[in-house]
Chain A
Amino acid sequence: MVEPDFSAYPMQDPHKPDLDDSLNVTESHDRLVREAAAVAREKRVNDGGREPVSLWLFAASAVILIAAGLALGKAGNFFDYDEYVQPGYMRDNLNEGGDEGPPPVDALKGYMAKGEKVYGKCIGCHGPDGKGGGAYPSLAGSQWVLGETDRLAMIILNGLQGPTSTGKTYGVMPAQGIGMSPTDLASVMTYIRNAFGNTKGDVVTVAMATEGIKISEGRAKAGQPLTKEELDADHAKDLPGDPLDPAAKVDPVTLNPVEEGK
């Protein structure tokens, strides 16, 4: 008869044996059952089954893989840490299902409203009434303001030094063209030609202003303020572009022409 070896179980105190060390197997078994009944009835655990695995499981896994592929398909370029949106992403039209935004207005009014806001940075010198207050040229009734649009655009974009249309010299006007969009330029030109008592009555369109910016960048002395000589020589003409009926409807924000009936 073999005695169980307790040396491997140091938690057991030999003076108060937890479990039996009797030589009688039946007696010790009964004791075990009495004292550790739950453990005594345990069976050995076995993970070695070899039942056939249903093909349905693999079919289900294939379906899951396809579903997962739907998600992976939206990932774009893998491990491209610089691409924060899906490649080729273009926003949906945000206005479908809702209304269209602010209503269209007359072109002249729309341009002037925008131009008034842009004029805010001119007020410092030319004054809120456009008259300049003596130290700066008056825009009201000015020959250059009401004259050819190419010349006026050049002055606004590049600045001016030397005498003005009246022959008087006021110092150097700094260039205003840095960061000025064609919309800003067109609207402020339209504004000063139709405010302060001026009543030119026409609209300098965004397309014309775009041409004006191109001409300004193509100047031989691009970036430097103009002089009366250069203006008379090169820019005594209107900006190219189709005229816009001052009563046509435009979107008040983008100044794009809006079709009638919209």
Chain B
Amino acid sequence: MSFRNFAIGLTVSFGLAWFSVVVLPFFKLRELSPVSFEEGVDPKSGIYFPKTTGRVVDGARVYAENGCYQCHTQVARPTYAGNDLKRDGFAGLKADPDRGDTRRESNPFDYVGLDFAQIGVTRNGPDLINLGRRLRATYGDEADEHLYRHLYDPRLDPAVASWSNCPSMKFLFEKKEIQGQVSDAALDVAVEDGFQIVPGPAAKALVSYLLSLQHDDVVPSSMNYAPVVPGNDG
């Protein structure tokens, strides 16, 4: 084998794969063409393009910096790739009072606005792509209070205390002296007299981000893979 043949062989074998599997998809996924709802078929009209707010991007950064992706994923896989959709709460709600079964697969628009889709590495903890939805369905207006307490110390969260190995993120919170009245934002956790625990700015951003994780909205029919049920007319 001469060096010339080696170099050609290596360049072609690597370059072909690098271009078609790395470079091209990266740039194609950068320009998502918006999908429209079809008149008469879909209950909604217009273009399907959810947006994210600036606060959410800050929260996503706190999520990345503290390595939450090591134990939590954010994707609802189609049924040929896993049972995510069948588990109530992961991909949507099984019995939403308004819309019934809202569960759906993740689509590319669920990650718009972030620089890195936190798909995740393992599921030591539950999937989070619909965390906001799940929490609001269970706790209503107290969802953020519940989430703050969970982040402060998961062992204080009655829903998971007996089994959760999620780390305590106490460093995202601040211990402040109570001045006059206890603050509205104070957590309902044990703390020495005269002090209260309030969320720091990172905790607020993180909770804002986590509660925004709700991706079970109605999608255009071209992205709707639900089996057709007779009598269902949208």
Q: A–B direct touch, CB within 8 Å, in complex?
A: yes
Chain A contact residues, CB within 8 Å of chain B: 74, 79, 81, 84-86, 89-95, 97-98, 101-102, 117, 178-179, 181-184, 206, 210, 251, 253-254, 256-257
Chain B contact residues, CB within 8 Å of chain A: 20, 24-25, 28, 43-45, 78-80, 85-86, 88, 94-95, 97-101, 103, 105, 107-108, 225-227, 229, 231-234
The one of B25, B44, B108, B231 that contacts A254, using a Cβ cutoff of 8 Å: B231
Residue of A nearest to B43 (CB): A181
Which residues of chain A have C-beta atoms less than 8 A from B233's C-beta?
Answer: 181-183, 206, 210
Given the contacts A81-B28, A94-B86, A101 and B225 also touching, CB distance less than 8 Å: no
A184 to B103, CA, bound (A): 21
Given the contacts A86-B78, A91-B78, A181-B233, A253 and B43 also touching, CB distance less than 8 Å: no
**Are A89 and B86 interface neighbours, CB within 8 A?**
no
Is chain B's binding surface mostly helix, strand, loop or mixed? loop
**Are A91 and B226 interface neighbours, CB within 8 A?**
yes
**Are A91 and B234 interface neighbours, CB within 8 A?**
no
Distance (Å) between the CB of A239 and the closest chain B CB?
Answer: 15
Distance (Å) between the CB of B201 and the closest chain A CB?
Answer: 36
Q: What would 15 A/B residue contacts be, using CB atoms closer than 8 Å?
A: A81-B25, A90-B225, A91-B227, A94-B79, A94-B103, A95-B94, A97-B86, A98-B88, A101-B95, A102-B100, A179-B44, A181-B43, A183-B233, A183-B234, A253-B98
A98 to B101, CA, bound (A): 13
Is chain A's binding surface mostly helix, strand, loop or mixed? loop
**Are B80 and A253 interface neighbours, CB within 8 A?**
no
**Are A94 and B80 interface neighbours, CB within 8 A?**
no
The one of B28, B44, B45, B227 that contacts A93, using a Cβ cutoff of 8 Å: B227
Residue of B nearest to A113 (CB): B97
The one of A90, A94, A210, A256 that contacts B101, using a Cβ cutoff of 8 Å: A94
Which residues of chain B have C-beta atoms less than 8 A from A98's C-beta?
Answer: 86, 88, 94
Name the residue in A117, A183, A253 with the highest tally of chain B Cβ atoms < 10 Å from its Cβ. Answer: A253
**Are A86 and B232 interface neighbours, CB within 8 A?**
no
**Are A256 and B232 interface neighbours, CB within 8 A?**
yes
**Are A85 and B232 interface neighbours, CB within 8 A?**
no
Taking A179-B44, A254-B231 as known contacts, 20 extra A-B pairs with beta carbons closer than 8 A to each other, sorted by chain A number, are: A81-B25, A85-B105, A85-B225, A89-B78, A91-B78, A91-B227, A94-B86, A94-B103, A95-B101, A98-B88, A102-B95, A182-B233, A206-B231, A206-B233, A251-B100, A253-B99, A253-B100, A253-B101, A256-B231, A256-B232
Which residues of chain B have C-beta atoms less than 8 A from A92's C-beta?
Answer: 79, 85-86
Distance (Å) between the CB of B87 and the closest chain A CB?
Answer: 9
A251 to B25, CA, bound (A): 43
Which residues of chain B have C-beta atoms less than 8 A from A79's C-beta?
Answer: 20
Residue of A nearest to B21 (CB): A79
Given the contacts A85-B78, A102-B100, A179 and B45 also touching, CB distance less than 8 Å: yes
**Are B105 and A254 interface neighbours, CB within 8 A?**
no
Residue of B nearest to A93 (CB): B227
A97 to B100, CA, bound (A): 18
Which residues of chain B have C-beta atoms less than 8 A from A178's C-beta?
Answer: 45
A97 to B20, CA, bound (A): 41
Which residues of chain B have C-beta atoms less than 8 A from A117's C-beta?
Answer: 98
A109 to B75, CA, bound (A): 38
Residue of B nearest to A178 (CB): B45
Which residues of chain B have C-beta atoms less than 8 A from A257's C-beta?
Answer: 231
